């Protein structure tokens, strides 16, 4: 049984220099309560792996504004001018990864695979300094797994064992990130008694969830 804990207590486990995976798509399906607590904590020199950096004042964008991120591995930064500005100023290192390749690299880490062979990025900057493999006279780009110290994820429902179910776009990155990190901190809209989430609706099993908190009610 996992008891919903104080969010500040959980975030204190994240040390400066940690690598974090943060779920969500432009802030939708992101763990906003944990992000706010992380901003409050002031932990710096963080590497963040995420689909995007959202927008100023939204989701991961708050961590960009606070200057706590030193490196980001992401699929796009187009809607956050602060990320772009800091990248050009040399304040943030940005590794841009095609969205499908990013998801596959995270999945490979979680499922114990040595990498993914993709066509996307061949002959572009995305392939720079990366290995290629020839299969049946076709060239494939080898994308290596991405691991993290912590995954901060958002779920629609959780039970007190930590089983999680997701809703709509939150299903894009949250489940694969939960598999690819050493520690998994989950934030849920609802925390229910064990048995209230049917087995068919459990996407992330509670055995890999380390800490559980409830979404902050306004």
Q: Which of 214, 184, 161, 190 is nearest to 23 (CA)?
A: 184
Collapsed DSSP state (helix, strand, coil) of residue 133: strand
Flag whether pLDDT at 54 surpasses 90.
Answer: yes
Q: What backbone torsions phi and psi does residue 4 show, to the nearest 5 degrees?
A: -60, 125
| Span between the terminal Cα atoms of the chain, in Å | 27
Q: CA–CA separation, 97 vs 94, rounded Å?
A: 10
Mean pLDDT of the chain: 94
Residue 2 β-bridge partners: none
Flag whether pLDDT at 150 surpasses 60.
Answer: yes
Q: Which DSSP state fits 70? A: E
Task: Give the pLDDT confidence of 96-122 residue by residue, as tens digits.
Answer: 999 999 999 999 999 999 999 999 999
Least confident of 5-9, 79-83, 206-210: 5-9
Whether the Cβ atoms of residue 150 and residue 20 lie closer than 8 Å to each other: yes
Flag whether pLDDT at 47 surpasses 80.
Answer: yes
Q: What pLDDT does residue 162 have? A: 95
Q: What pLDDT does residue 216 have? A: 61
Q: What pLDDT does residue 214 have? A: 80
Flag whether pLDDT at 64 surpasses 80.
Answer: yes
Q: What pLDDT does residue 126 have? A: 81
Flag whether pLDDT at 49 surpasses 70.
Answer: yes
Phi-psi region of 39 (alpha: psi -120 to 50; beta: other; left: phi over 0): alpha
Q: Please give the model's pTM, rounded to 2 decimal places.
A: 0.94
Strands 148-159 and 181-192: what pairing?
Answer: parallel
Task: Give the pLDDT confidence of 167-209 residue by residue, as tens digits.
Answer: 988 888 999 999 999 999 999 999 999 999 999 999 999 999 9
Outline where the chain has alpha helix (H). 7-11, 32-41, 60-65, 81-88, 99-111, 174-179
Q: CA–CA separation, 158 vs 75, rounded Å?
A: 28
Q: Which of 108, 74, 125 is nearest to 179 (CA)?
A: 108
Q: Which residue has the tokens 């200057």?
A: 67
Q: What backbone torsions phi and psi does residue 103 show, to the nearest 5 degrees?
A: -60, -40
Q: What pLDDT does residue 76 have? A: 93
Q: What pLDDT does residue 79 have? A: 95
Flag whether pLDDT at 68 surpasses 70.
Answer: yes
Flag whether pLDDT at 218 surpasses 50.
Answer: no
Overall average pLDDT of the 141-160 stretch: 96
Overall average pLDDT of the 80-87 stretch: 97
């Amino acid at each position: 049984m996992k008891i919903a804990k104080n969010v500040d207590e959980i975030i204190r486990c994240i040390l400066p220099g940690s690598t974090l995976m943060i779920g969500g798509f432009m802030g939708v399906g992101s763990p906003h309560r944990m992000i706010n607590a992380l901003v409050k904590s002031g932990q710096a020199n963080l590497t963040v792996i995420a689909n995007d950096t959202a927008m100023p004042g939204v989701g991961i964008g708050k961590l960009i504004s606070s200057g706590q991120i030193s490196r980001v591995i992401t699929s796009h930064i187009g809607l956050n001018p602060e990320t772009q500005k800091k990248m050009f100023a040399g304040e943030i290192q940005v590794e841009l990864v095609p969205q499908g390749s990013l998801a596959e690299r995270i999945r490979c880490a979680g499922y114990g695979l040595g990498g993914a062979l993709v066509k996307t990025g061949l002959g572009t900057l995305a392939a720079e300094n990366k290995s290629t493999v020839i299969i049946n006279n076709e060239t494939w780009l080898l994308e290596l797994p991405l691991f993290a110290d912590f995954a901060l994820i958002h779920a629609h429902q959780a039970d007190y064992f930590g089983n999680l179910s997701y809703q709509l776009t939150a299903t894009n990155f949250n489940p694969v990130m939960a598999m690819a990190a050493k520690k998994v901190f989950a934030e849920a809209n609802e925390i229910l008694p064990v048995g209230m989430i049917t087995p068919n609706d459990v996407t992330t099993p509670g055995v890999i969830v380390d800490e559980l908190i409830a979404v902050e009610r306004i």
